[in-house]
Every structure is written in C-alpha cells, then in structure tokens.
Structure 1
C-alpha cells in the first residue's frame, strides 16, 4: 500500500488558487509512490508545474506532445521490461490530450497491452489554451468555442464516455474518482499500478478559472457533481462494474447555479427545457450505475 504521507509534488508551482489538477497531482503520486515515472502531455499541469528550468515533480517526469504521451509511456515500459526493472509508468494528461488529441495513441497502447497506468485529470475543457470545448465538456456548458448566446445554449454534445471505451479495449482495471474524496483517489491509483496491464483512471478536477467559481470552493463543487449524479465514482474490473459510490441524490440545479459556465441557463430567465435535459443525464447515470441510496 502506498505511503499516503509521501509528498512527491512540491509546493511553489504556478497553479491557480484552488486548482483541481494540482490537488490531483499530489494524490496521484501518493498512490503510485516514489518508484514512478511520469509521462505528461502539454496541458495545464505541465505548464504550472514544470516551467524550465524549474519543476515541482520529485520523480522522473517526461514531457510529451499533446497527442503521444501513451506512446512515450509504451516505449518507457518496454525499455524497463527489457532491463528487468519494475517502476510504475504513469501517463498524467488532461481531457483534451486524452479524449481528443491523444486517443489514437491511447488506443494503441491499450490494444498492445502495455503495463502502464493512464490517468486523465478531467477539468472538462482545454483550460490551458483558452477554455475551448473538449470531448469531456458536459452538455450545455459554455466554452469559448461553444459560446452561449441568443442562438446557443452552449455545448450541444454529450460528454464522451472514455472509461467505457477503454474497458472495451480489454483494460483489466478502469476507475473514476474525484478530488472530493482524496483517499479514494489514492486507493484507486495504488490498485491500478499494482494491476498488470493497461489501466485507466479518470479524476474529476474542477477548474475555478474555466468553470467560473470561487477557488475556495473547488472541493465543494466536486462533491456537488457527485451528489447530483452528473459524476459517478466507480471501479470496473475486466469490463464489469465492481463498486459504485452510493448517494442520496440531489437535483442538478444547485450544481449548475454555482458555475458561470451554466449561468445562461438561469439568466435572463430560467431555461427549464435545457435544465431538464441535464437532469435526465443524471437520471440515466443513476439508473445505469445504481447510485441511488
């Protein structure tokens, strides 16, 4: 079991106050431990934690392009295997690099069966490059490439279900988690690095800048997403859901009201039609994963 007191991501980096991905980075390394090698794509975490010649990482860390972190990790894993070494090889990438730009390399790494753990810190847009829509952006959220206006209610496509996609690749372990529950993140990362084969973890990491909320409320927002059913914490082993966090579910309204990216659903007047569509997404999650207490 990993040492939960071990701090392998140092303080003094350039993340925003209340940054969800910064919190996730600390928790990931607590779960994987010091015998880890991190491959990281371009993205928010890369920019705030490794401005040359400085770094916040206390483990070997390799910067890749947006699209090829999984390919770089595959090469590292193959080289370590040839040398008879057994470090934990991690990819830590944002949702843009994972859901969109890098999905081909991820698919290849998982199809080939490399012993890596791919972790997506999901802040639900391309935050580093200007809050553009990604495949992880929720329905009706406003971004700079799906603006809400008189003829738009924001993003008109559903969030891509990447955990199910990678489970369909034959991944032995797939999990979702949230910075709202730190011990759960640590436990799932620890389990993933001890599981042979390509594993995937998706961590919900609210972004105060991109979502539009007070950075002191990051953990509160993360909990609200779970409590309304728009984010589900679960584990899948060999394609089957093994464990799900149960909740006494609340309506989606308060979660949506707490973020500027959904403000257009309430001003100048409440858009009951669109809010009902988002509530229906939460209802489908509840039925699919059996989250209701």
Structure 2
C-alpha cells in the first residue's frame, strides 16, 4: 500500500507555473495543487475562464503536462473525447482531468457534466469556485451567494446585491449517483490533496468542488486568500464532505461556528449588508447544517 501524498511527500515538479494570474489567486493554487497530485500523466482540459486566460498565452504555455482549451460549455464533453481517444491509441496510465470555474460548471457547462456522469466516463472534473464570473468582469454565476455584490447584482438602497442563494452543485452532482464527489477548499490543502488522490484512483466519473477565493472579486487583500477560505469553513458557509456508494459523509464537523458577520464584512463584496441580510445567510446556514447533521455520516477524525 502506497503512502498518502502530503506536503512533505508531494512532488517538487511543477506542472502549472509562470502564468499570468492575479496576485493571491485561489484558482491558480487549486490548479497547481491538483496537477502536482495527478502528475505528468494528467491530460487537462480547461474551458474559457480564468485559468485558460492566464495559462495559454502564445507563445508561452504554462502547463508542462498535455493540456487543451475547450469551448466554454464543453469541458466534460471534451474530457469524454480525450479519455476515449487516448485509450483508442493505446495510451495507458493517464488521467483526463477538467479544470473549470463556477460559471463554466454550474451554469454553462452543467449539461455536458450531467451527460458525462450519466455515461460514467472515466474522468475527473474539478470545479474551482470563486463564486462569480471573474475572468469577464465579476458577473453573477449560479454559485454566487446571496447578498454578494457583482457587476450584474449591484448593491443599492433597495436591493442589497444578489437576491438568489448559491446553487447546491455538490448535491446536484451527487443526485446523479456519481462514482465519487467531494467538496474541498484551498483553506484546507491536506483535505484537497487527499480527495484528488482518492478520486484519481476511482473508475468512472469523479467530481471535486473546491472553493478558491478571488481577491479582486471578493474585495480582500491578496495575502488573505487562504485565511478567508478557512474562515468560510469555520463560520459554516462551506463544508468539507464526500459522496460515495450512495452515502454523504461530512469530513469536518465544527463544534461551534465562528462569526458569520466577521467573515462577511471582511470582504468588499459584502460590506453593504445590513443585520437583516446577515440573519438571512445565518438562517440558510443553520437550516443546511441541521439537514446535514440529521442525514449525513460523520467521520470520526476532524481535519
């Protein structure tokens, strides 16, 4: 049995570097870590979005493994073709991995992703979720949380940012009875690494949804990306979980939540929220956690 990959044992090789991402970019860290776990035999597919924009700049390609840009809607369908084509020509010991943002996954790419899961194609799909269409100017996506200010959900006297809750994509994916799905965060890299490694060894479609803050879109200092991701977990607005064999398992079960108000008001996108708005978000959080505690398994070891 091989040892699990850790910060001490992960490869020194880099497969995504020299890119043009903004300082403090959570998405670039998620992609870097994912490819370090998967290694040089990974074949990555990236749709239009932040990571393709910063990683494919002719003549400078920032991926040292085989990588290709897909259509915005076609990450999962291109992954299907890449995986099937590689097998057809006799390539072995590889992993086809998609690396797509929240808009390209939850909105534009959800049909292709649903189809791939339905076929149970042997692919790994990773959504790096920065909660808006950051590459094109910070527009609302289906994963933008309630109250967040974006260029298409501005805050004003009568409307305080986004009026809709964040789409529950993890459970939407799980509802397909997928082989394996998980949530993760760059605020807990050991957990993220473990889940990538696990998913890469499972036959069939696997999915990881990793929160990856964007300093510009979230309105935070560039040196606080990791810290804000951790606070999102600690205040209960994100959870670390897995879905496998028809069961949900919670990986981290906080005994007490930290202040949701402190988390929200530390970000420019939420500065306009009043106490009533914050109470709505707290109520949504509490209702979700009540359902989790009632219906999901819980791991014994807290991460």
Q: Name the counterpart of 2:276.
A: 273
Q: Name the counterpart of 1:288.
A: 291
1:143 aligns with 2:150: yes
Pick aligned residue for 2:110 from 79, 99, 103: 103
Q: Name the counterpart of 2:17.
A: 11
Please state how far the C-alpha of 1:228 moved relative to its aligned partner.
0.4
User: In structure 2, how many angstroms separate the alpha carbons of the residues matched to 1:32 and 1:7?
Assistant: 11
Kept in 2, the 8 Å contact 1:80–1:86? The answer is no
1:66 aligns with 2:72: yes
- Helix, strand or coil for the counterpart of 1:38? strand
**Are residues 32 and 96 of structure 1, via their aligned partners in 2, closer, same or farther at CA, if it must alter by over 3 Å?**
same
Q: Name the counterpart of 2:45.
A: 39
Please state how far the C-alpha of 1:251 moved relative to its aligned partner.
2.5
Please state how far the C-alpha of 1:10 moved relative to its aligned partner.
4.0
> 1:128-167, aligned counterparts within 5 Å?
128-167=135-174
Structure 1: where are the runs of 5+ without partners?
266-270
Pick aligned residue for 2:249 from 231, 242, 247: 242
Kept in 1, the 8 Å contact 2:239–2:250? The answer is no
Q: Name the counterpart of 1:21.
A: 27
User: In structure 2, how many angstroms separate the alpha carbons of the residues matched to 1:195 and 1:10?
Assistant: 24
Pick aligned residue for 1:93 from 100, 124, 129: 100
1:43-74 Cα offsets, whole Å, 9 max, x none, are 01111122111122111001011100111100
User: In structure 2, how many angstroms separate the alpha carbons of the residues matched to 1:103 and 1:206?
Assistant: 21
Query: How many pairs does the alignment contain?
Result: 287
Please state how far the C-alpha of 1:150 moved relative to its aligned partner.
1.2
Please state how far the C-alpha of 1:30 moved relative to its aligned partner.
2.1
After superposing the two structures, state which structure 1 stretch, 246-255 or 223-232, moved more. Answer: 246-255
Aligned Cα root-mean-square deviation (Å): 1.5
Kept in 2, the 8 Å contact 1:7–1:29? The answer is no
Please state how far the C-alpha of 1:177 moved relative to its aligned partner.
0.5
Kept in 2, the 8 Å contact 1:168–1:239? The answer is no
Kept in 1, the 8 Å contact 2:123–2:206? The answer is yes
Q: Name the counterpart of 1:232.
A: 239
Kept in 1, the 8 Å contact 2:16–2:35? The answer is no
Superposed structure 1 runs of 4+ greater than 4 Å apart = none
Structure 2: where are the runs of 5+ without partners?
none
Q: Name the counterpart of 1:121.
A: 128
1:211-251 Cα offsets, whole Å, 9 max, x none, are 10101000110001000000111111133112421223112
Q: Name the counterpart of 2:89.
A: 83
Kept in 2, the 8 Å contact 1:8–1:59? The answer is no
Please state how far the C-alpha of 1:148 moved relative to its aligned partner.
0.6
